[in-house]
Amino acid sequence: MALMTSIIKIMPIRSDHSANTNPLVVAIAYDGLCTFEFGVAVEVFGLARPEMGPDWYRFAVAGIDDGEMRATGGIRFVVDGGLDLLPEASTIIVPGWRGMDRPVPADLCAALNAAHDRGARVLSICSGVFVLAAAGLLSGKRATTHWRYTDTLKERYPDILVTPDVLYVDEGNVLTSAGSAAGLDLCLHLIRRDYGSVAANMVARRLVVPPHRDGGQAQFITQAVPKAHESSRLGPLLDHMRSDLGGNHSVESLAARAGMSTRTFLRRFEAATGLTPARWLLAERLSRARDLLETSPASVETVAELAGFGTAATLRHHFRKHLSTTPADYKEAFGKAS
């Protein structure tokens, strides 16, 4: 089974906002609004961030229902406008939807299609994928959503290539994320596309979240939380593995270091991380390589050594297999100098 990664498609080049300063991000609001998903959009794109410079995003909220609208939790809210805001938007976010079985208004579908046709990006968080699907924007494309909804999405829209075990999917101008918190991963990915890794890392630091997570949403499904005494043994072990990514970490040596039998160690390691030790180590090596390619002027050969891959050929192999790109292309897209 291949290592699950958080992204299906790496964009080959970073978006250029030099010709589109202060790009407008519009979040769709509706009666029954999913509060958390909407909050993700606001937190990432709607807060003033003077440290990001004068060309940072603008943010607006477009309501699609007449009269008073409410969000989950009894919140009543007002909006900046309606669907008339969409022609100005460079990015449109659908933060969840009020129910898989609730119809999507025809005028919303038409407005999303018109925006997409002129080049705007359309992004869904969690159940918001059903809005994009109803609008026909996902036909023939890869997409994801919360693991509870993937089977329904497949059944209702067989022309969509549903990818269940990832945190988000980037198909260029149409992007989808898995469960609610995966919306943060996707929004940070979009910042990385637009402004580079340094900007994404700065926003992630303010949010107190990782700038990117490796692993698929399957690791969050029906999984036992490790007991405290197990965490106290596995935590230092994970730190040890991270400090020596190039080491020969056999199951036997890791189990001995954790003070467990190999059988117990494998069971508890996978319960805690969602991955086998080998796959966890590979994910950490890929994460380290991505960080180095984004922030360091080091050559691909040096990155391969520092990230624990040993050789550039091995690094290239795993980048092609798990990230569908090459280290050189990734560095060009997301590196400091790009």
Active-site residue numbers?
126
Give the torsion through C-alpha atoms of 125, 126, 130, 131, to 10 deg: -20
Q: For residues 104 and 94, is the Cβ–Cβ distance under 8 A?
A: no
- Which amino acid, 151? D
**Which residues contact residue 84 at a Cβ distance below 8 angstroms, ignoring those fewer than 6 apart?**
62
Q: For residues 165 and 4, is the Cβ–Cβ distance under 8 A?
A: yes
Dihedrals phi, psi of 94, to nearest 5 degrees:
-105, 100
**Left, alpha or beta for 16 (phi > 0: left; psi -120 to 50: alpha)?**
beta
Helix or strand run (H / E) with residue 286: helix 277-295
Q: How many CB atoms lie within 10 A of CB 250?
A: 12
- The C-alpha atoms of residue 251 and residue 267 are separated, in whole angstroms, by 12
- For 320, the token pair is 């092609």
- For 217, the token pair is 């949403």
